[in-house]
Amino acid sequence: MRLVGFRYLQRQSLLFLTVVLLLASVLFSITAFGFFGFYQTFYTYLGEGDDVVVIYDKRSTTPFTGIIQLQLIARIENISGVLATSPEIIAPTIIKDKSVFLRGVIPEEFGKLNPLTIINGETLQLGDVQSTIVGKKLAETLHLTVGHKLLVLGVLAERYLTLEIKGTYESNSALDDEAIVPLYVGQWLRGADYESATLIRAKIDRSELTSALLYEAIAKAETPQSDGKTGLTLIEEIIPISNTAINPKNLSVKETQQFMKTYLDRYGVTPQTLLILSVIIFIFTSATVLGASHTLIRQHEHETAVLRSLGASAKTLKLDVTMKTLPWSIIASLIGVFVAEAMLLVVETSGAQALSHTIHFQLNPLFIALNILLVFMIVFSSVLRSAKKLTSK
């Protein structure tokens, strides 16, 4: 007996089920896109190119608190395949009662790895002792303009400094939430000595070097005498750097994304765990979906009994109910995804942040497909379970 053209499910009941499915889809999508937006933001914190590596102290507990010797630059720059180096120190600070990361750099060297587009004002120079340039998003969030003077309070050291905004820039990266200062200014606010940095980024020729080969070369290299042309000598024009001992056992060299992944993995923030958490939250909402599906079947108990008396088999009836609810399930899933994305975009626009950096939420085809699959599986199993009780009578 064919039931394809026979309408016995009330539209109101289907709409109720659709609304429940939509809410479940919204909750799953917000959770999944939110978790992975956070993960992706920090996974790409130092850039996405595979030709940039990070030299850092592997003993540090976070990517913002490590300390390595600036003298390493003299070793790194003389290794064949190294195209540019940028020592950087990251200093957590308070500006206008907001948490802000200041990044101390050698502007000339930093620009070789991260070219910045100056929107207003001028670019930063190494000699700008009391100046800073701020990212576009930071400027918008704190309502900062060129010429504005900021009282900057150090977090890791009891120090403060007044800096004048020399310019605003755009990088289309996490840097847009930060302020950039000369290296030695960042060192002072961080409470570090003038011979250290948080990390050193290096741009390499992938045809000659890998992160592993670079580490081996650093461990074997001797620190050469400066020839007056390196990034290290630029900072030495202002502050002298002594020739300190370097212990390669405390160092590690990784691609930028792998560097951040090391710390994310250390605290259990992996794509697998985030996906499992999202699915668990969806499963908790499945009780409501099961209840809605059961209600749908119970409301049509009379109709199913009539169809059974007319010769419809239990298998045919279960299949037909499933086929009639399937389109509604898919529609609910897709609407839920786009409603969740719209809500997250509002949150992003309003300035949602984690560790003082804006979180970006993006649609992921994998999560959309998973959402549809999970909704279908729950509806299918609940309809079959509810229909089985009715058709067995």
Q: Model confidence over 50-70: pLDDT tens digits? A: 788 999 998 888 888 889 988
What's the mean per-residue pLDDT of the chain? Answer: 79
Q: Is the pLDDT of residue 169 over 90?
A: yes
The Cα 149–Cα 210 span in angstroms is 43
Q: Which residue has the higher pLDDT, 278 or 251?
A: 251
For residue 183, what pLDDT is reported?
93
Average pLDDT rounded to a whole number, residues 9-18: 67
Q: Which residue has the higher pLDDT, 101 or 392?
A: 101
At 290, is the pLDDT very low, low, confident or very high (cuts 50, 70, 90)? Answer: low
Q: Which residue has the higher pLDDT, 161 or 44?
A: 161
User: Burial level of 41, CB count in 10 A (0-12/13-18/19+)?
Assistant: buried
Average pLDDT rounded to a whole number, residues 176-186: 93
Q: Is the pLDDT of residue 304 over 80?
A: no
Q: Is the pLDDT of residue 391 over 60?
A: no
For residue 313, what pLDDT is reported?
60
Give the model confidence (pLDDT) of 102-142 as tens digits. 999 999 999 998 889 999 999 999 989 899 999 999 999 89
Which range is most confident: 40-49, 288-297, 366-375? Answer: 366-375
Q: Rounded to a whole number, what is the distance in angstroms from the first to the last CA of the chain?
A: 19
The Cα 278–Cα 31 span in angstroms is 6
CA 70 to chain centre: 29
Percent of the chain with pLDDT over 70: 73
For residue 148, what pLDDT is reported?
93
Residue whose C-alpha is closest to residue 126's, from 149, 102, 108, 112: 108
Q: Are 378 and 27 contacting, i.e. CB atoms less than 8 angstroms apart? A: no
The CA–CA distances, whole Å, from 221 to 78, 85, 231, 244, 391 equal 9, 16, 18, 14, 79
Average pLDDT rounded to a whole number, residues 250-269: 80
Q: At what angle do helices 301-309 and 271-299 cross, to 10 degrees?
A: 70
Percent of the chain with pLDDT over 90: 26
For the ranges 150-164, 290-304, 334-348, 366-380, the lowest mean pLDDT is seen at 290-304
Torsions phi, psi for 7 (to 5 deg) = -95, 110
For the ranges 68-82, 191-205, 347-361, the lowest mean pLDDT is seen at 347-361
Give the model confidence (pLDDT) of 218-249 as tens digits. 888 665 554 544 556 666 666 666 666 678 88
At 2, is the pLDDT very low, low, confident or very high (cuts 50, 70, 90)? Answer: very low
Q: Is the pLDDT of residue 95 over 80?
A: yes
At 1, is the pLDDT very low, low, confident or very high (cuts 50, 70, 90)? Answer: very low
Q: Which residue has the higher pLDDT, 33 or 387?
A: 33
At 87, is the pLDDT very low, low, confident or very high (cuts 50, 70, 90)? Answer: very high
**Tokens (6 digits) for 216:** 């081996």
